[in-house]
Amino acid sequence: MDDSPAARPPFPAVDRVLAAPQAAVAIERYGRVATVAAVRASLAAARSAWLAGAAVDVSVERIAIVATARLEADDAPSQRRVLNLTGTVLHTNLGRALLSEEAIAAVTAAMRSPTALEFDVATGRRGERDDHVRGLLRELTGAEDAVAVNNNAAAVLLTLNSLSEGRETIVSRGELIEIGGSFRMPSIMARAGCRLVEVGTTNRTHLADYAEAIGPETALLMKVHPSNYRVEGFTKEVAAKELAPLARERGLPLVDDLGSGVLVDLSAYGLQRERTVQEAVADGADLVTFSGDKLLGGPQAGLVVGRADLVKRLAKNHLKRALRLDKLRLAALEATLKLYRDPDRLAQRLPTLALLARPADALKALAARFAPALGEAAGPAFAVGVVDAESQIGSGALPLAAIPSGGLAVSAIEGKRAGSALAELAAAFRGLSVPVIGRIAEDRLIFDLRGLDDEVVFDAMLAELASARVGAAA
């Protein structure tokens, strides 16, 4: 390439670009320092492209536009809104439960102003942040007391460290679970400073196994919800209701880790029944741990309810400060729990329950309405059809419970490149201004509509992709 001064395009000086009207708008929005950096980066990219032999537009206006686009991209939130059409309603990677309007309003109010987070307005003295949810949790679960931390793993960690540090915790071998991200119950126990004593076998554990394992170093007995798997066939487990009398006889606490806690009978909404927190308390567990952002439908939180003397020990543990909730999540949790006082309207007001309770026939009818627009967006290389689908709750809740659903399936007409064609189409959907996330299974890109929370936005995204495809072909 001719690199002589006469052959080079007239790259403008940074100051000239900054004087352009487009740059003035960028300076007003993003600040001068950031705009200068974006202009310099845009000029450097233009020089690199020219040196590589590409034709470049180095007008002041063009450089200013490119720099502004850089600033807009950098300023976009990294936690982008997406449409969850994966079929997993409580998708851990997509943020689990959607908050209710009441919870959103409570968080917004808490963000705007100082709050009485740890302040007793009546006495003018220091208060306790758990008081904002303690009464509600006692009322809803029947437990004597409650404490809140930042997730259920933290709830288990705090419980074990408070009650069993330096001593033994007895757990069935079939309940030593691993949850997402390779976090394992034995590892959490080790971090809590207690020694694990495994009893029984992978598939069968008897009451006598617990009784025989109890010794002078035993601090507590523990039940762990299998969460994300089921062992079927020749199996035996000891229910908490059977284990509680043994724990009382030996003077030991029984901890029941429910994982995904539920406060209502799910069968009333056409879902598989799950043991409730209230039942766990009534079955004799001294402490029950569960999550806030799964079937409860609230923010990320770990909740412990049970005997007042044991909860007090947890609250006094120095770990509690490191694991405590901030004012925003406490506001959201309080608002969510209040919804359970009105069970008749819970399915209309709690988004997670509303999504899970949607009838499959209604979802298939919705899929039929969207099918033509999806066909336009995908283009002539793909076939689109309405299909029966099977949703799942997700996040370890009822792992074997498939919920009949309805959705759309996209298949590549040319079979030779079906895999790569579907992968490219899925990437195109993820590249939209509001990414649409489906799943590829059995040589089809499937969009399960159970998790669709905004039909207007989905319509707009289909139109956006159709327009982009037409523009690329022109």
pLDDT level of residue 437 (50, 70, 90 thresholds): very high
Cβ-in-10-Å burial (0-12, 13-18, 19+) of 294 comes to: buried
**Predicted local distance difference test score (pLDDT) of residue 202:** 79
Minimal CA–CA distance to 83: which of 430, 375, 471? 430
Task: Find the Cα–Cα–Cα–Cα dihedral 272, 276, 280, 281, rounded to 10°.
Answer: -160
Minimal CA–CA distance to 133: which of 344, 292, 362? 292
145 φ, ψ to 5°?
Answer: -155, 170
Tokens 């507590």 belong to which residue? 220
**Predicted local distance difference test score (pLDDT) of residue 361:** 96
- List CB contacts of 469: < 8 A, sequence separation 6 or more: 377, 379
Q: Is the model's pLDDT at 217 over the cut of 90?
A: yes
Q: Is the model's pLDDT at 219 over the cut of 80?
A: yes
Q: Is the model's pLDDT at 314 over the cut of 50?
A: yes
Pairwise CA distance, residues 135 & 24, whole Å: 54
Strand duo 444-448 + 439-441: pairing: antiparallel
CB contact at 8 A, 387 and 377: no
- The rounded mean pLDDT for the chain is 91
222-271, pLDDT tens digit by residue? Answer: 999 876 556 666 678 889 999 999 999 999 999 999 988 899 999 998 88
pLDDT level of residue 295 (50, 70, 90 thresholds): very high
Identity of the residue numbered 37: A
CB-side neighbour CA atoms (13 Å) of 416 = 0
322-377, pLDDT tens digit by residue? Answer: 999 999 999 999 999 999 999 999 999 999 999 999 999 999 999 999 999 999 99
Q: How far is CA 410 from CA 68, 316, 372, 407, 437, in A?
A: 37, 56, 12, 10, 13
**Predicted local distance difference test score (pLDDT) of residue 222:** 95
161-212, pLDDT tens digit by residue? Answer: 999 999 999 999 888 876 655 567 788 888 899 999 999 887 888 999 999 9
User: Counting every residue, how long is the chain?
Assistant: 474
Alpha helices in 215-292 (DSSP H): 240-249, 277-282
Q: Alpha carbon 304 to chain centroid distance?
A: 20
pLDDT level of residue 60 (50, 70, 90 thresholds): very high
pTM for the model: 0.89
Pairwise CA distance, residues 438 & 203, whole Å: 35
411-422, pLDDT tens digit by residue? Answer: 998 765 778 899
| 3-state SS class at 143 | coil
State the Cα angle at 99 between 464 and 130, rounded to 5°: 150
Q: Is the model's pLDDT at 2 over the cut of 60?
A: no
**Predicted local distance difference test score (pLDDT) of residue 470:** 72
**Predicted local distance difference test score (pLDDT) of residue 6:** 47
pLDDT level of residue 402 (50, 70, 90 thresholds): confident
pLDDT level of residue 285 (50, 70, 90 thresholds): very high
88-119, pLDDT tens digit by residue? Answer: 999 999 999 999 999 999 999 999 999 999 99
Identity of the residue numbered 14: V
Q: Is the model's pLDDT at 1 over the cut of 60?
A: no
Q: What is the mean pLDDT of residues 405-433?
A: 90
Q: Is the model's pLDDT at 66 over the cut of 60?
A: yes
Q: Per residue in 243-267, is it b (16+ CB within 10 Å) or e — as a string?
A: bbebbeeeebbbbbbbbbbbbbebe
Alpha helices in 228-359 (DSSP H): 240-249, 277-282, 308-316, 319-323, 327-339, 346-349, 351-356
Minimal CA–CA distance to 269: which of 354, 212, 349, 377? 354
